[in-house]
Structure 1
């Protein structure tokens, strides 16, 4: 009854995740973590990003976990709602959605296109939305409303900014535990 270890697809946000970012650190710690390469990190287009995610899920062995940050969260929501087939969705064991940005917010990147209006349908896999009390790209009320609409568990990590490299999280073992819990539901 040994279940296979999930393969983790890492979905960074706008302009990718640099060396000190928890996503990059996770990839360095565990070879089962693979970054989904987007066609253009500086000028994200929803359709292209969702198709890149779809290709990555198709190539991965099931089960798959998604570790998304910022615009990667929106990509996950759009992909699940509008792009993925039932067979693709069945491969996804869960998604960790960190620092969901508000596409109608004042700090949302102007170079990003097609990410509004955000789909607010229940996600067809387990998910956790992680929010920071002082995230300039998406506040607590916005992330709570996304978590509610998506059927996600919601977690507040306090004042951690945009929950990126500047947040000083290092390897962020606590969040790796949350991600792992999605692949091994109790």
Structure 2
């Protein structure tokens, strides 16, 4: 089924170490004509640098922006929302990494703690019940903190290439539902 996404600009916010050419984010970037955030340092991420790069991508957009984030990118969006929430129309947050866990790698620790606030725009979390970087309870806690619905994928790992998520065409339905949520909120605000 074809989806109409023509009324939005999409920004791809990868996680730690970026998303490779086979990753669903790279496929979606082509399909959607999306912009990828141009982080200067993917391997030793610095929160302020990542926020500045996301902000630059948002400022370059000409239509309402929906961010498509994966892993550490989800934490980036949460911090961005705390500083610039009114600049985003929505966010799809896939496999959010638990940056607050005791075993979080040192490069992820500058992204903890997450800001304790609801996202001020429509968002959806897509989480896996077998994500090695976020236990289901923690993924559910993040969705509750952000006050957005969560869709659970069974045994989907980190929803990345290693777990078989390359083109991930089924995920585009989640994006379509989010786009509908954004349109509904914008319609109410305009009415």
What 5-or-longer segments of structure 2 have no aligned partner? 185-191
Quote how far apart the aligned CAs of 1:112 are. 3.1
The structure that is helix-richer by fraction is 2
1:114 alignment partner, one of 107, 110, 115: 110
Which residue of 2 is the match for residue 178 of structure 1? 174
Quote how far apart the aligned CAs of 1:92 are. 2.1
1:112 partner SS: helix
Contact preservation (8 Å) 1:10, 1:68: yes
Distance (Å, rounded) in 2 between the aligned partners of 1:183 and 1:93: 9
Deviates more, 1:61-70 or 1:110-119: 110-119
Where in structure 2 are the equivalents of 1:159-174 lying within 5 Å? 159-174=155-170
Quote how far apart the aligned CAs of 1:127 are. 0.6
Is residue 29 from structure 1 mapped to residue 25 from structure 2 by the alignment?
A: no
Deviations 1:82-109 (A, max 9, x none): x21xxxx444221110111111325423
2:110 partner SS: coil
Distance (Å, rounded) in 2 between the aligned partners of 1:79 and 1:28: 24
Distance (Å, rounded) in 2 between the aligned partners of 1:111 and 1:91: 27
Where in structure 2 are the equivalents of 1:26-175 lying within 5 Å? 26-31=28-33, 33-81=34-82, 83-84=83-84, 89-175=85-171
Quote how far apart the aligned CAs of 1:120 are. 2.5
Q: CA RMSD in A?
A: 1.8
Contact preservation (8 Å) 2:99, 2:109: no
What 5-or-longer segments of structure 1 have no aligned partner? none
Quote how far apart the aligned CAs of 1:64 are. 0.7
TM-score (structure 2 length as normaliser)? 0.87
Which residue of 2 is the match for residue 12 of structure 1? 14
Quote how far apart the aligned CAs of 1:110 are. 1.4
